[in-house]
Amino acid sequence: MKILVTGASGFVGRRFLEMAPASWEIICLGRSNIDYDDVKWVECDLSSKESSKIAADVLADKEFDVIVHLAAFVPKKTIEDSLEKCKEGNIDGTINLLTYFGKKAKKIIIGSTVEVYDKTKISGPITEDNVVSGSSYYSSTKIASEVIVQSFAQKNNKELTILRFSIMYGGYDPIARAIPNFIRAAKSGDNLTINGPLVLRDYVHIDDVASSIICAVNSAGAGVINIGTGRGVSIKETAESIIKSMRSSSCINIISDSGGCNIVIDISKAESLLDYHPKVFFPDKINEMGDLYENCK
């Protein structure tokens, strides 16, 4: 199996490389070198046409079974939701990848997010048929990148799988999501501040995210697929579990009973089409995650 991977230095990409079968021939495109045995790295800034063309010249004689597109601009904090950066990382990067490398592969897999869904119009578990609507520059540009890849795949007769990941956790997560924030607070002995204590979240561990990509590589193109656990955990239960796991003296401060919409994923399509079955369920592996936050007390 010959695979071209983007975003290999990121949160998802690194774990995917660590879990990928040794028999796969993997080439990574990116700005940061990947120091893994048996993995070739080609320098490329996909947001730049010039850089993408240079990388394409380096790989001119290569063909691939699969492209796994994980490169993206993900704001680490809400205030970093920049239109320009999201466009460059999510739209321009996708267009350049397809322009210079898309026709060199039989199948394309891209990583997306459940942030694309209009959660205000969802009453139960989120299915792939639910309405999408960008509520941020990040989610809007991820929707755009999905549509661009869908059009490319249709025009060029490529198999396509779009993996919409639920709320990820595990490892050293650089994004300011609830779980990393709660861990930092609990390890420092600070109180955990929450909104919407009964609001549900479907947390998917990074190991299962990587496993879903491997499943997609080994399966036929499946279209849009939600990746989560199918289980909801309340915000209050999340905070309580982390305080307990960190053996912290922190308390919970509830600011408001309103905290947004539930995010619980219907994974039946992933189970049937990809043979994907999550193995890690929150709060599994929270202790491992806590050990990595060296800047915390």
CA atoms in the 13 A half-sphere facing the CB of 247: 3
Residue with the larger pLDDT of the pair 293 and 134: 134
pLDDT band per the 50, 70, 90 thresholds, residue 294: low
223-274, pLDDT tens digit by residue?
Answer: 999 999 999 999 999 999 999 999 999 999 999 888 789 999 999 999 999 9
pLDDT at position 20: 96
pLDDT band per the 50, 70, 90 thresholds, residue 181: very high
Strands 64-69 and 105-113: parallel
pLDDT band per the 50, 70, 90 thresholds, residue 171: confident
pLDDT at position 175: 85
**pTM metric for this prediction:** 0.95
183-236, pLDDT tens digit by residue?
Answer: 999 999 999 999 999 999 999 999 999 999 999 999 999 999 999 999 999 999
5-56, pLDDT tens digit by residue?
Answer: 999 999 999 999 999 999 999 999 999 887 777 889 999 999 999 999 999 9
118-163, pLDDT tens digit by residue?
Answer: 988 888 899 999 999 989 999 999 999 999 999 999 999 999 999 9
